[in-house]
Amino acid sequence: MGDTALGAARRRLVPAVVDVGLGVTVAAVVLVAAFAGIGPASTSNPRGLDVGAFALAAALAGALGIRRRHPVAALVGLNSVVVLWFVGPYPGRLVALAPLLGCYALAADRGWRWGLAGAVLTAAVQILAIRVVLGDVDTVGVVPIAVLLAATAGSAGAAVGYYRALLASTRAELARETSFREERTRRLIAEERLRIARELHDVVGHSMATISVQAGVGLHVLEQRPGQAGEALAAIKRICDAGLTDVKAVLGALRTPSGDVEQSCGLDRLPTLLETVEGAGLRVELDLDVGGRALPVPVDLAAYRIVQEALTNVIRHARARTVWLAVEHRPPRLTLRIRDDGTAPPATDGWGQGIDGMRERARALAGSLTAGPYPDGGFEVCAELPVPEVR
């Protein structure tokens, strides 16, 4: 924090030092030119350098020193110094060039309109001052020069001001673009984390639910029916192997540049999934009508995960005996219906999270998902997923 404040103070100090240095230099040049008699000669006897000349030189240096912070006051002060110098009359006329710096600073800071006003003021003051000193006869040749110099200084300042404004606008636009890209990157990372978390939730949740059921069956029949207990243990092993394969696929996505989860699940794995569910004690009635059409990978994976999560929720919460599963592919959409005959209320934390996850999967594909009690009893999950045409 201290280093930042110190750096900002230094950035403010450098232009101020430059302005003061320029003002002192110009004042010194004006005094040297006056002492050496450089510049147009006066029609009257010039006045020697005195305290008044040094006071005007100091005022000149001060006006140039504040030209960045107070350009209007600086320009008025510089023109006033020129008038007083010529009225003096002090020798040397290079002082007439000093207001051009103020005219430039005003145009650069306030824009071309202020620059035009400053140029008109500067040209008028210089013409007036030189007329007083040189007389009417020589004014005719001075007018175009004074106007040209003032116009040139104002135009140069306006051009520099426009360039500065354009540069500031470009930097601001670049900062906004950088901020937008960073925000987009953070959003994509968050979405990717949610996607992977959803995959792990579906895989681990289904595996743990079915393992719990099979383990309960094994413990119950361990002594009376050892053969059935062995079948339960074999089912647990199959579930663990399949779950580990899916988990490795999800975690493997973290090590790939694209972050895509390997396609290892789809509706073609429904028989294995239903076998596992039936092993947990549920009777599944399947109505599969996909017409032999291939589904896009994202739709195929989402459909499988929705069915898997819905069946997992039935096993964990519904206390059901039968599940009716209908999968219908009617272009341009795929419809999934999972209904059970359970009696347990669905409003549990685990069930609600599962429904939210399924709904997010459907929405990610511009689809929809509804879930709620079925009129004839039980609970129904219905999902509709758009299926783009594969060309």
Q: What are 121-178's pLDDT values in tens digits? A: 888 887 777 766 666 555 556 677 777 888 888 888 888 888 888 888 888 888 888 8
Tokens 């929809």 belong to residue? 368
pLDDT of residue 45: 61
Q: What are 73-123's pLDDT values in tens digits? A: 888 888 888 888 877 777 777 788 888 888 888 888 888 888 888 888 888
Q: Is the pLDDT of residue 221 over 80?
A: no
Which has more pLDDT, 91 or 295?
295
Most confident of the following: 5-9, 19-23, 190-194: 19-23
User: What is the rounded distance in angstroms from the CA atom of residue 378 to the CA atom of residue 322?
Assistant: 10
Q: Is the pLDDT of residue 2 over 50?
A: no
User: What is the rounded distance in angstroms from the CA atom of residue 114 to the CA atom of residue 200?
Assistant: 66
Q: Nearest to residue 326, comparing CAs of 301, 379, 289?
A: 289
pLDDT of residue 128: 77
Q: What are 50-72's pLDDT values in tens digits? A: 788 888 888 888 888 888 888 88
Q: What are 317-327's pLDDT values in tens digits? A: 778 889 999 99
Q: Is the pLDDT of residue 15 over 90?
A: no
DSSP conformational letter for 36: H
User: What is the rounded distance in angstroms from the CA atom of residue 87 to the CA atom of residue 128?
Assistant: 10
Q: Is the pLDDT of residue 384 over 90?
A: yes
Domains of the chain in start order, with CATH, are 12-178 (no CATH), 282-391 (3.30.565.10)
User: What is the rounded distance in angstroms from the CA atom of residue 199 to the CA atom of residue 177?
Assistant: 33
pLDDT of residue 146: 77
Cis peptide bond prior to 332, omega within 30° of 0: yes
Cis peptide bond prior to 298, omega within 30° of 0: no
Q: Is the pLDDT of residue 314 over 50?
A: yes
pLDDT of residue 337: 94
Q: Is the pLDDT of residue 344 over 80?
A: no
Cα angle 310, 312, 314; round to 5: 70
Q: Is the pLDDT of residue 203 over 80?
A: no
Q: What are 236-257's pLDDT values in tens digits? A: 666 666 666 666 665 665 555 5
Q: Give the count of beta carbons closer than 10 Å to the beta carbon of residue 358.
A: 26
Sheet holding 379-386, edge to edge: 283-289, 322-330, 333-340, 379-386, 368-373
pLDDT of residue 370: 92
When the pLDDT of each residue in the chain is averaged and rounded to a whole number, the result is 76
Residues in the chain: 391
Q: Is the pLDDT of residue 22 over 70?
A: yes
